[in-house]
């Protein structure tokens, strides 16, 4: 995982014209120090309509939305209005209806291809302010097909050091074949 992160940083720095070895190492260390949490999981794209939507976000111990880390572009850009069963928990918790286009663009992207997905939370809220140590919850919600959903919840304790955290999973609906859309969820806390 660290090798993949380093290659990603090196590639990014090379593309932006920063190829010095010292600068690359310093940037990798700085990024590592700002990483509060890393989420990885296997994503298998499903065929057909009303599927492949997912979001990742953080809530505090009182259930308040702290930050969206990622949401699929279709849902974030208004698909939630046309298809209310697309990641409905995230839609409700994120209060997307009050987000600006720029705020939506920061957290959304095209639905990824099949493969391992990695997301990093830097320990900040939606305004870029570092959150205090304490208890949080990571959510990963996916729309498997129409109203069929999966939601992973992982309790997070910031301030306790590096630890793997187990995510619980809950499915709703009858579509069992699409349950492979998101699996092998791994959550690691670094702060």
* CA 2 – CA 27 distance, rounded (Å): 14
Return the pLDDT at 173: 87
Q: Evaluate whether 55 touches 68 at the Cβ level (below 8 Å).
A: yes
pTM of the predicted model as reported, rounded to 2 decimal places? 0.81
* CA 103 – CA 35 distance, rounded (Å): 21
* CA 59 – CA 69 distance, rounded (Å): 11
Radius of gyration of the chain measured on its C-alpha atoms: 17
Strand partners, 53: 143
* CA 191 – CA 47 distance, rounded (Å): 38
Count Cβ atoms within 10 A of the Cβ of residue 71 and give its class: 0-12 exposed, 13-18 middle, 19 or more buried. Answer: buried
pLDDT tens series, the chain, 191 aa: 444 333 333 333 333 333 334 334 433 443 455 799 999 999 999 998 899 999 999 999 999 999 999 999 999 999 999 999 999 999 999 999 999 999 999 999 999 999 999 999 999 999 999 999 999 999 999 999 999 999 999 999 999 999 999 999 999 988 777 889 999 999 999 99
């Amino acid at each position: 995982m660290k090798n993949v992160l380093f290659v990603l940083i090196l590639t990014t720095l090379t593309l932006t014209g920063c190829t010095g070895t010292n600068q690359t190492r310093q940037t990798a260390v700085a990024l590592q120090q700002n990483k509060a949490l890393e989420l990885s999981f296997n994503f298998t794209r499903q065929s057909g309509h009303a599927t492949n939507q997912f979001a990742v976000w953080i809530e505090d111990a009182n259930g308040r939305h702290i930050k969206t880390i990622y949401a699929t572009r279709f849902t974030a850009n208004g698909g939630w209005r046309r298809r209310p069963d697309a990641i409905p928990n995230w839609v409700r918790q994120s209060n997307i209806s009050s987000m600006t286009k720029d705020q939506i663009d920061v957290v959304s992207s095209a639905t990824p291809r099949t493969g391992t997905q990695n997301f990093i939370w830097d320990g900040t809220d939606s305004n870029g302010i570092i959150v205090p140590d304490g208890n949080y919850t990571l959510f990963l919600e996916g729309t498997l097909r129409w109203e069929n959903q999966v939601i992973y919840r992982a309790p997070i304790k910031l301030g306790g050091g590096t630890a793997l955290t187990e995510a619980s999973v809950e499915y709703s609906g009858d579509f069992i074949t699409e349950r492979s859309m998101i699996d092998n969820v791994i959550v690691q806390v670094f702060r």
